[in-house]
């Protein structure tokens, strides 16, 4: 019984018609044998492909090791797409654990990386309250000298945006240059003037009669 190995190779591996079977790697030859051994005797296939029996069984062992996580790999892919590609390896691992699948986070991360299952993160533009020179500028009294000899002498402030599962929140704190403590802060879902005004009113209410700190900001619209 003769075999047209070249033709069979093209069909199995989708190789170019000009392929020389002698240039095939052992793993490719083993793949051909696996695909054709139900059609041709194993010894004949090994002979035609010039693949030693020991090499074939070695490749079989390697294939089995590679397929160790084949069923879990499929489940990971299914869970990833069921959740619209929004779950990273930790959440996928949690879902697997809930289903009773025992596997380490490290393996889940590796499988997802190998299969290109990565959460697409939308680029977010950092929040900035600066809208240009909308009012006359004021002197930069602090001039990057953030040292203070006593409390409530120099204050710094800014608005910081945080993204949480429920949406975006904005923090408006006062930082005392003397010890880095926060005399007052406010939090809101809207970065508006009320957020800043409430923060300033609350901070001022903590001052003594003789305390008149300089407040340094980035000159954003809420401070102008």
Q: Tell me what the pLDDT averaged over the chain comes to.
A: 80
| Residue showing tokens 């047209």 | 4
Q: Which residues are within 8 A (CB) of 221 and not within 5 positions of it... i.e. 6 or more apart?
A: 129, 130, 131, 134
Is the same domain home to 156 and 223? yes
Is the same domain home to 75 and 11? no
pLDDT tens digits for range 104-141: 999 999 888 878 888 876 555 555 655 566 567 777 88
Is the same domain home to 140 and 205? yes
Is the same domain home to 187 and 90? no
What are the residue ranges of helices labelled H in the chain? 5-13, 26-36, 42-49, 53-66, 70-82, 89-98, 105-114, 193-204
Q: pTM score > 0.75 for this model?
A: no
Tell me the backbone φ, ψ of residue 122, rounded to 5 degrees.
-75, 135
pLDDT for res 137: 72
Is the same domain home to 128 and 110? no
Domain count, the chain: 3
Cβ atoms < 10 Å from Cβ of 153: 15
Is the same domain home to 139 and 91? no
pLDDT for res 95: 94
Distance CA 224, CA 20 (A): 76
Is the same domain home to 33 and 52? yes
How far apart, in Å, are the Cα atoms of 172 and each of 120, 138, 149, 182?
30, 21, 24, 10
Burial of 90 (0-12, 13-18, 19+ CB in 10 A): exposed
Is the same domain home to 162 and 98? no
How remote is the C-alpha of 163 from its chain's centroid? 15
Would you say 21 and 5 are in contact if contact means Cβ atoms under 8 Å apart?
yes
Which range of residues forms the domain containing residue 62?
A: 5-66
Is the same domain home to 223 and 150? yes
pLDDT for res 25: 82
Is the same domain home to 155 and 223? yes
pLDDT for res 80: 92
Distance CA 80, CA 78 (A): 5
What is the CATH number for 175?
Answer: 3.30.420
Is the same domain home to 132 and 211? yes
What are the residue ranges in the chain where pLDDT is below 50? 2, 10, 14-17
Is the same domain home to 147 and 188? yes
């Amino acid at each position: 019984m003769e075999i047209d190995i070249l033709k069979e190779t093209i069909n199995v591996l989708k190789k170019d018609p000009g392929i020389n079977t002698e240039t095939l790697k052992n793993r490719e030859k083993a793949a051909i044998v696996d695909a054709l051994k139900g059609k041709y005797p194993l010894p004949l296939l090994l002979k035609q492909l010039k693949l030693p029996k020991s090499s074939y069984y070695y490749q079989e062992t390697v294939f089995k090791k590679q397929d160790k996580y084949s069923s879990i790999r499929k489940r990971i892919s299914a869970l990833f797409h069921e959740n619209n590609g929004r779950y990273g390896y930790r959440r996928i691992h949690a879902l697997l654990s809930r289903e009773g699948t025992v596997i380490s986070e490290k393996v889940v991360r590796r499988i997802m990386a190998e299969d290109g299952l990565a959460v697409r993160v939308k680029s977010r533009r950092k929040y900035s309250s600066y809208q240009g020179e909308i009012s006359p500028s004021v002197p930069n009294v602090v001039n990057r000298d953030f040292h203070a000899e006593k409390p409530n002498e120099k204050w710094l402030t800014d608005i910081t945006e945080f993204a949480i599962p429920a949406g975006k929140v904005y923090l408006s704190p006062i930082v005392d240059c003397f010890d880095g403590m926060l005399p007052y802060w406010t939090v809101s879902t809207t970065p508006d003037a009320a957020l800043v005004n409430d923060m300033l009113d609350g901070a001022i209410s903590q001052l003594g009669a003789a305390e008149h700190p300089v407040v340094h900001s980035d000159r954003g619209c809420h401070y102008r």
